Amino acid sequence: MMDRETRNLEYKEQMTNSFLKTVSAFANYCDGRIVFGVRDNADVVGVSDPAALCLDIENLINDNIDPKPDYRLSVDNKTRTVKLSVSEGIDKPYCYKNKAYKRNDSSTVQVDRLEFSRLVLEGRNRTYEQLKTSEKALSFKVLELELKDKLKITEFDEDTLKTLELCDGDSNLNNAAALLSDSNHYKILDIVRFGGSIDEISERVVVENRSILSAYEEAIKVFIRYYRKEIITGARRETVEIIPEKAYREAVANAIVHRTWDVSQSIQIGMFKDRVEITSPGGLPSNLSQEEFLRGRVSFLRNPIIAGVFARLGIIEKFGTGIRRINECYKEMRLKPEFGIFENSITLTLPTKDAVISLDSQEEEIEGLLKPNKIMTRGEIETASGMERTKVIRILNRLIENRTVERIGTGRGTKYSLIR
């Protein structure tokens, strides 16, 4: 039984020139395979002459894809199918008829002008932030004050900018420098505090045309207004965080450091009573998988110069540790941060410490059985609920994961109770 078509796998019952678009897509963005002699529904029909087909495929790729991609052909003599394996290349963009392509789920589409320019930069081993800025007469008062305060430098001059990789040997400033300058053309943050519903806006703070360092500080000020409170008990004054401030700081810094800056869009920060949502322009880099991202294994930096400055200033600690640090802030809490990863954006949701977990009817039933401070075995829960063993195990594991229920003991003596 053949697997269904995916982002990295395409079937062709017969060879037509359209497969060259998919070759372009795989070479530009991700390793992939095209199997000839298989219908779209994964039915294997084979081809009449696999050897001749291999020769035709090779000639078409060599004559039509520029530059030549890295690929290999193999024949399954049993099924009479031909497999074309294409590797992601480094000499991007790989074009078919002067157009570059990408995979969109299991289909192949042409990239737009912005994506094409990104491929060109990637092929040259350059990033947007490294390009010479078009901004004129930039000043760096905010950056200078931060460096003098945090790093105790005494002089701020062109050599400082060169050390931070903000200008080249000819004193040309780059886009990273523009983003860190006191005044620029960039849209940075759009912060909205919502009232009782999404239609009710209590406050809106739009941050643009200024240093990303001052924008970061503005985001922290707004956060403190709504998610930090002071409780006075007798002579004691205690500061309470409704959302872990450390997690929020890390999330905003990561959004600034890892977003795409070649689009005229702001980082969206939605502040709700029970959560904060931070949406950053730009999906995952093509060479970073969702699993690697969620595990905090970020081996590729979209904006290494900006990341370097933020690291020097202590705003971020180490490259690639942001997600792990955010999750660590919620280690003892019932609700955890959630990530939404899309093609052109990434959303992080930070719940408040007192946010209520949504349970389905069966989870509520088991929670109800344990409510009167009861400690029960799994067997007792099965008997009381009338649910089968596998279902009870699955529900208990979820309730343990979201810190509603705790497991007491091990083996046959294992019991369960609500976390107080």
Quote the mean pLDDT of the chain: 91
Q: Is the peptide bond before 337 cis (omega within 30 degrees of 0)?
A: no
Question: Read out DSSP for 67-84?
Answer: SPPPEEEEEETTTTEEEE
Tell me the CATH number for domain 361-418: 1.10.10.10
What is the dihedral sign for C-alpha 59, 61, 66, 70?
negative
Per-residue model confidence as pLDDT tens digits over 306-323: 999 999 999 987 666 788
Residue range 181-205, pLDDT digits in tens? 999 999 999 999 998 888 899 999 9
420 pLDDT band, cuts 50/70/90, is low
Please tell me the pTM assigned to this model.
0.78
pLDDT for the residue numbered 357: 65
Residue position matching structure tokens 């060479």: 287
Q: Which two tokens stand for residue 259?
A: 């977003």
CA-CA distance, 380 to 14, in Å (whole number)?
Answer: 60
Q: Would the pLDDT of 131 be above 90?
A: yes
Nearest-angstrom CA–CA distance, 17 and 163? 50
CATH topology of domain 188-351: Heat Shock Protein 90 (3.30.565)
Residue 241 pLDDT > 70: yes
225 close to 288: Cβ distance less than 8 angstroms: no
Q: Is pLDDT at 297 greater than 80 in this prediction?
A: no
Q: What is the mean pLDDT of residues 52-56?
A: 97
Token readout for 279 is 């949406």
For the segment 365-389, the average pLDDT, to the nearest whole number, is 86
Instruction: List, for residues 23-49, the tens digit of each pLDDT value.
Output: 999 999 999 999 999 999 999 999 999
- Report how far residue 119's alpha carbon sits from residue 93's, in angstroms, rounded to the nearest whole number: 5
Contact 23, 102 (CB under 8 A): no
pLDDT given at position 146: 97
Q: What is the pLDDT, as a whole number, of residue 318?
A: 63
Task: Indicate the domain borders of the chain.
Answer: 9-123, 130-180, 188-351, 361-418
pLDDT band at 1 (very low <50, low <70, confident <90, very high): low
Please state, in angstroms and as integers, the Cα–Cα distance from residue 1 to each residue in 4, 14, 277, 301, following that order.
Answer: 9, 19, 42, 39
Mean pLDDT of 222-248: 88
pLDDT (0 to 100) of residue 289: 75
* The pLDDT of residue 299: 56
Write down the pLDDT at residue 120. 96
Mean pLDDT of 334-350: 90
Which of 172, 171, 205, 200 is closest to 188 using CA atoms?
A: 205
Q: Which residues contact 274 (CB under 8 A, 6 or more apart)?
A: 351, 352, 355, 356
Q: What pLDDT does 203 receive?
A: 95
Grade residue 154 by pLDDT with cuts at 50, 70 and 90: very high
